[in-house]
Amino acid sequence: MLWFVLLSSCVAVAILFGFSLRWMFAGFKKYETGFKQLTQKNLSDFFLFFDPLQLWTSAILLCLFTVLLAWLLFDSVVLAVLAGSVMLLAPRYVLSVLRQRRLDLFDRQLPDMLLSLSGALRAGTGVQNALKLLVETAPVPLSQEIGLVQREQRLGVSFEQALDNLAQRMPSEATGLVVSALKIATQSGGNLSEALDRISLTLRSRIQIQGRIKALTSQGKMQAWVMSSLPLGLMLVLNMIDPESMHYLWSTPMGWAVLGVIAVLEVAGAWMIRRIILIDI
């Protein structure tokens, strides 16, 4: 009877382990596909063109190097796996942050672009010639995006469709206002220069309000970073001071459970602080 129970337990563990590996490989494959698609799209938005397979290979090699380095430094499999997971997830996060910064920079450049376009229209220049002049004088990324609009038109894309493509590449309220104004002016006419002046004033006021909100909420953001990094820093310091006592935290199931609870609570606290200070205007 005992042998039967042991055999059944081994079979159950083997089946559970097989399903776990299957789920892990399926999740890993899904993440790989999403990583390649997202990196290719984000890098193409930066007008950078790399092979997604090379980027994925570089991310895997960097992850393995981080796992090996963390294991050699801390002699802990749990810390090594966590460090490797963070390093594997880091490229997508970095690309998302860079893309958001590029979008914010584009929004800050729009008011000056609208004033320049309005001045050119008052001087008698057409919309297309004014946009061509902006491409030559405007900074990046504004010049890149307007230049892409004009290249699409030379390839046979209509002006309205090119503007819609611009709104898709730069999904913000400011870009939507500019695209709507240009499309309405080209379709139904009207005093486009005055409309651009009003939109420029609105966007400039909106950017100033956003700057004030960012300054007022910076303390809350810093508290979130400090709250999230303090336990990790404290654990590393205690591990260097008293590694024998901290060994139970890294090498026992109870210690792993405590680390899991700490991680969940830290992520939940940081998320709640971020939701509190996130103000949309």
pLDDT in tens, the chain (281 residues): 555 555 666 655 566 656 555 666 666 677 667 666 666 666 666 666 666 677 777 778 888 888 888 888 777 777 777 888 888 778 778 878 888 888 888 888 888 888 888 888 787 777 778 888 888 888 888 888 888 888 888 888 888 888 888 888 888 888 888 888 778 777 665 577 788 888 888 888 888 888 888 777 777 777 777 877 888 888 888 888 888 877 877 778 888 888 888 888 888 887 887 777 776 66
**One domain, residues 197 and 279:** no
Are 122 and 130 a contacting pair, CB within 8 Å? no
Same domain, 224 and 175: no
**146 within a domain of the structure (yes/no):** yes
**CA distance from start to end of the chain:** 69
- 194 and 222: one domain? no
Residues 155 and 117 occupy one common structural domain: yes
Predicted pLDDT at 7: 60
Q: What helix, strand, coil percent values describe the chain, rounded to 5?
A: 90, 0, 10
CATH number, domain containing residue 131: 1.20.81
Do 179 and 225 sit in the same domain of this protein? no
For 248-271, how does the pLDDT look when each residue is reduced to its tens digit (9 = 90+)?
777 788 888 888 888 888 888 878
Within a domain: 131: yes
Q: Would residue 17 count as lying in a domain?
A: no
Please answer whether residues 84 and 166 qualify as being in contact, where contact means their C-beta atoms are separated by less than 8 angstroms.
no
What does the block give as tokens for 194? 């005055």
Distance CA 271, CA 279 (A): 14
68-99 pLDDT, tens per residue?
A: 888 887 777 777 778 888 887 787 788 788 88
Q: How far apart are CA 92 and CA 256, in angstroms?
A: 27
Cβ(220)–Cβ(273) below 8 Å? yes
Is 160 a domain residue? yes
User: Does 199 share its domain with 168?
Assistant: yes
On whether residue 120 sits in a domain, the answer given is: yes
Asked whether residue 169 falls in the same domain as residue 225, the answer is: no
How many other C-beta atoms lie within 10 A of the C-beta of residue 67?
A: 20
If asked whether residues 108 and 203 sit together in one domain, one would say: yes
Same domain (yes/no): 124, 189: yes
Task: Confirm whether 174 is domain-assigned.
Answer: yes
When divided into structural domains, the chain yields a total of 2
Let me know whether 111 and 198 are in one domain: yes
CA distance 41 to 23: 27
Asked if the peptide bond before residue 141 counts as cis, ω within 30 degrees of 0, the response is: yes
Positive/negative CA dihedral, 93, 99, 105, 107? negative
Residue 4 falls within a domain, yes or no? no
Residues 176 and 119 in one domain: yes
Domain carrying residue 266: 217-232+250-281
Global pTM?
0.69
Kindly state whether residue 64 falls inside one of the protein's structural domains.
no
